[in-house]
Amino acid sequence: MSKQTYKVCFCFRRRFKLAATEAPPPIKSLFEQYSDSNGIMTVENFHRFLVDVQKQAGASVEDAQAIMNSTAHIFHRKGFNLETFFKYLFGDSNPALEDRKVHHDMNAPISHYFIFTGHNSYLTGNQLSSDCSDVPIVQALERGVRVIELDIWPNSNKDDVIVLHGRTLTTPVELIKCFRSIKAHAFNASEYPVVITLEDHLTTDLQAKVAKMVTETFGEMLFTPDAGSLAEFPSPESLKRRIIISTKPPKEYLKSEESKAGAMGSQREKDSAAEAWGGEIPRFNSRITADFKEDLEEEHEEEDLQDDHCAPEYRNLIAIHAGKGKGGLDDWLKVDPDKVRRLSLSEQELENAAKTHGPQIVRFTQRNILRVYPKGIRFDSSNYNPLIGWMHGAQMVAFNMQGYGRSLWVMQGMFKANGGCGYVKKPEILMNNEAIFDPRASLPVKITLKVTVYMGEGWYYDFKHTHFDAYSPPDFYTRVGIAGVPADTIMKRTKAIEDNWIPAWNEQFEFPLTVPELAILRIEVHEYDMSEKDDFGGQTCLPISELRKGIRAVPLYSQKGDKYKSVKLLMHFDFVQSV
């Protein structure tokens, strides 16, 4: 047993034992149950363990042997001993999620999928003064984001097109540079289509220039519909390795921007950076807010593209037409049997509209695409609760990928599903057009998720030894909970284990779920600090629809969503069906 020394003041030192990682008591008991009298778990016993505990009913003895063979460097001649069994459980070959391959049906229209969507994808930081660049676009694509948003404006000479967050101090980047980077990186993480949403502030001659740019850059990669507008969206499978353009009329943007510019000053003081840097995910409000009318006024004049306001060669490139129409919510949410379109609502517009039109929104999204975007006062590039969009069937819940915080962690968790391809098939409850799902209806519990947090390790290797506490080893605790519909949303926590780099909690939690199809398991580790804010020690979010039963290794990620080399938890998951 090695020792660890911390300095206290100038002349004193505190010494702590640095324990080795070893199996916690529940794992030792399981091993004894499935091993022989010689302390060896044979292939046959390991197979029983896979079936009984890991709930892998289809596993064969040959599968068990293959797992043992794949861990040859820790494989005992006759089977697993306790140490090698424990290393297997904590290893990369025992993940918490199902196989990383694409396994959802990808042949339905794209309106049947949640799509990994970025907002102001070109910004490197905040919404007011950061640089515009192709770098965050590349980073988003490499993480599996499938919808890239570009705000396009004339340059100062009015003879070329730049990407810029208009009427702010952000520095521009050339549009052609963004296009070329999209082409180079679009399909590195996923072969499924990339949608480019253009927020267009251009004159007709510059639109024609953009059309030429798009055509020359993407060539045969570009998907253009044969007809002026689509009667039904194509499937992700049919659009593999294709680029899709989506936009709405330039004249409406110019009017909208004037309205937004006036609203910014009065709303700036309402903004808060809390969620951007790790504050709790906002709950849904229970009343229609006073600024709902203002939100509606900002965007109510959007309508479908008109030939006299759009260069024809530019119009012909647009595969997903966007617009609201001139009426109110009832008009916006009308379902045209002969034409599909994209509707955009701010987070506040959607949250308020959902109070009176929830089932109508769900019906609209069964055929059409709904894009939700952050409200304009999120200058710090913070985000909102994505469940507000998902539980209403919104396909494009647009997020500031350059920010980070709990809302973005939930977004990243959702798109770990379906092999991380950026498209997740919406659950049947959102696609049933006979009994339209009401997101706010009181529903019975369908299933209960049982989560046991055994222990964690890896911080000693991934962090400086005085990162959490300058005078002693860290005091870790784990938060576990659900992001889901309001009835399912909850967070719980373990006790803090004092002065230990390898904490063992051995605590179990139960989560009754009314809509498990939309639930995300949230996991965080923090270090308790009596005098200051608790330190962050890792996080991950996992889609419950793809969670594997049994004892699993759960790697943790940084606040920015980067996977730690060593930090992970050992956990047990089980589901109990409601009667």
Q: What is the pLDDT of residue 227?
A: 73
Q: What angle do CA 89, 516, 365 make, to 5 degrees?
A: 130
Q: What is the pLDDT of residue 268?
A: 39
73-116 pLDDT tens trace: 555 567 899 999 999 999 998 999 987 799 999 999 999 999 99
Distance CA 99, CA 103 (A): 9
- Beta-ladder partners of 17: 3
Q: What is the pLDDT of residue 289?
A: 45
My answer on whether 124 and 240 are in the same domain is yes
- Mean pLDDT for 314-320 is 93
Query: Is 392 among the residues known to form the active site?
Result: no
Q: What CATH number does residue 190 fall under?
A: 3.20.20.190
> Which among 119, 321, 357, 572 is annotated as catalytic?
119
Q: What is the pLDDT of residue 403?
A: 82
**Percent of the chain clearing pLDDT 90 (strictly above):** 75
My answer on whether 70 and 145 are in the same domain is no
Categorize the per-residue pLDDT at 10 as very low, low, confident or very high, splitting at 50, 70 and 90. low
Q: How many folded domains does the chain comprise?
A: 3
Strands (E), 124-190: 147-154, 161-163, 173-174
My answer on whether 410 and 375 are in the same domain is yes
Which residue type does 504 have? A
My answer on whether 149 and 174 are in the same domain is yes
In a domain, 155, yes or no: yes
Q: What is the pLDDT of residue 556?
A: 98
My answer on whether 209 and 335 are in the same domain is yes
Residues in the chain: 579
In a domain, 86, yes or no: yes
404-429 pLDDT tens trace: 899 999 999 999 999 999 999 999 99
Categorize the per-residue pLDDT at 252 as very low, low, confident or very high, splitting at 50, 70 and 90. very low
513-549 pLDDT tens trace: 999 999 999 999 999 988 788 999 999 999 999 999 9
- The answer to whether 397 and 389 have CB atoms below 8 angstroms apart is yes
In a domain, 284, yes or no: no
My answer on whether 134 and 57 are in the same domain is no
Q: Which residues contact 66 (CB under 8 A, 6 or more apart)?
A: none
Count CB neighbours of 266 within 10 A.
Answer: 11
My answer on whether 376 and 492 are in the same domain is no
In a domain, 219, yes or no: yes
Q: 291 or 441: which carries more pLDDT confidence? A: 441
Angle of helix 82-89 versus helix 25-33 axis, rounded to 10:
120
**Percent of the chain clearing pLDDT 70 (strictly above):** 86
Angle of helix 204-218 versus helix 175-185 axis, rounded to 10:
30
Query: Is 47 among the residues known to form the active site?
Result: no
Distance CA 539, CA 353 (A): 32
Q: Does an H or E element contain 7, and which?
A: strand 2-8
Q: Is the per-residue pLDDT at 264 higher than 70? A: no
Q: Which residue among 398, 430, 462 closes a domain? A: 430
> Which among 47, 104, 112, 165 is annotated as catalytic?
165
Categorize the per-residue pLDDT at 307 as very low, low, confident or very high, splitting at 50, 70 and 90. very low
Q: Which residue among 409, 430, 451 closes a domain? A: 430
In a domain, 9, yes or no: no
Q: Is the per-residue pLDDT at 293 higher than 70? A: no
In a domain, 290, yes or no: no
Count CB neighbours of 353 within 10 A.
Answer: 22
Q: Is the per-residue pLDDT at 285 higher than 90? A: no
In a domain, 272, yes or no: no
Q: Which residue among 430, 461, 492 closes a domain? A: 430
In a domain, 119, yes or no: yes
Distance CA 182, CA 191 (A): 13
My answer on whether 212 and 351 are in the same domain is yes
Q: What angle do CA 516, 115, 183 make, to 5 degrees?
A: 155
My answer on whether 381 and 482 are in the same domain is no
Q: Is 20 left (phi over 0), alpha (psi -120 to 50) or beta?
A: beta
Distance CA 572, CA 579 (A): 23
My answer on whether 366 and 228 are in the same domain is yes
Handedness of CA 563, 569, 572, 574 (dihedral sign): negative
Q: Is the per-residue pLDDT at 262 higher than 90? A: no
In whole numbers, what is the pLDDT of the chain averaged over residues? 88
Query: What global pTM score does this model have?
Result: 0.91
Distance CA 478, CA 345 (A): 36
CA-derived radius of gyration, the chain: 26
Structural domain span for residue 501: 442-577
Distance CA 35, CA 465 (A): 38
- Mean pLDDT for 484-490 is 96
